[in-house]
């Protein structure tokens, strides 16, 4: 069986149905509960956890999270598409990663000339949204 959203192979008996589509577990969960970037409780929790662990910058991030953070850090303002192309990520993967990095106050989104960009959180003062 193949997931209708991500085209991943689904083991027999583990497929899930949602609105007429056959989905893998990850895509099913994403459909029911998409990542939320602006979540006050998640921001507080992420900041506290990182502070207690003594993490700064990319310390404590998963390899995909670290790759996105480092790419944005090296590039400055980047679009979702640029990150997806460079790191071979799907939009749902990037959305999940960005939500976590936003909760940690490492990355943020801003709009310039009608285009949405991702940038470092610390650059908020120099690149107003």
In this predicted structure, what is the pLDDT of residue 126? 44
For residue 9, with 0-12 CB atoms within 10 Å meaning exposed, 13-18 middle and 19 or more buried, which class applies?
A: exposed
Which pLDDT belongs to residue 92? 85
DSSP state for residue 2 in the 8-state scheme:
B
> According to the model, what pLDDT value does residue 129 have?
42
Q: According to the model, what pLDDT value does residue 67 have?
A: 96
Residue 114 C-alpha from the chain's centroid: 21
CA–CA distance, 45 with 39 (Å, rounded to integer): 10
pLDDT per residue as tens, the chain (129 positions): 999 988 889 999 999 999 999 998 888 887 777 667 676 777 667 777 887 888 887 888 999 999 999 999 999 899 999 999 999 998 888 998 999 999 899 999 999 999 999 999 985 444 444
Contact status, residue 110 vs residue 79, Cβ threshold 8 Å:
no
Predicted pLDDT at 44: 63
- φ, ψ of residue 52 to 5 degrees: the values are -65, -35
């Amino acid at each position: 069986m193949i997931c209708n959203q991500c085209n991943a192979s689904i083991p027999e008996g583990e497929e899930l149905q949602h609105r007429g589509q056959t989905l893998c577990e990850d895509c099913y969960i994403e459909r029911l509960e998409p990542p939320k970037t602006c979540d006050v409780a998640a921001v507080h929790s992420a900041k506290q956890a990182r502070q207690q662990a003594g993490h700064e910058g990319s310390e404590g991030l998963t390899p995909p999270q670290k790759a996105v953070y480092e790419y944005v850090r090296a590039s400055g303002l980047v679009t979702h598409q640029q990150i997806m192309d460079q790191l071979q990520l799907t939009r749902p993967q990037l959305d999940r990663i960005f939500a976590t990095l936003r909760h940690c106050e490492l990355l943020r989104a801003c709009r310039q000339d009608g285009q949405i960009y991702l940038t470092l959180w610390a650059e908020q003062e120099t690149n107003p949204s």
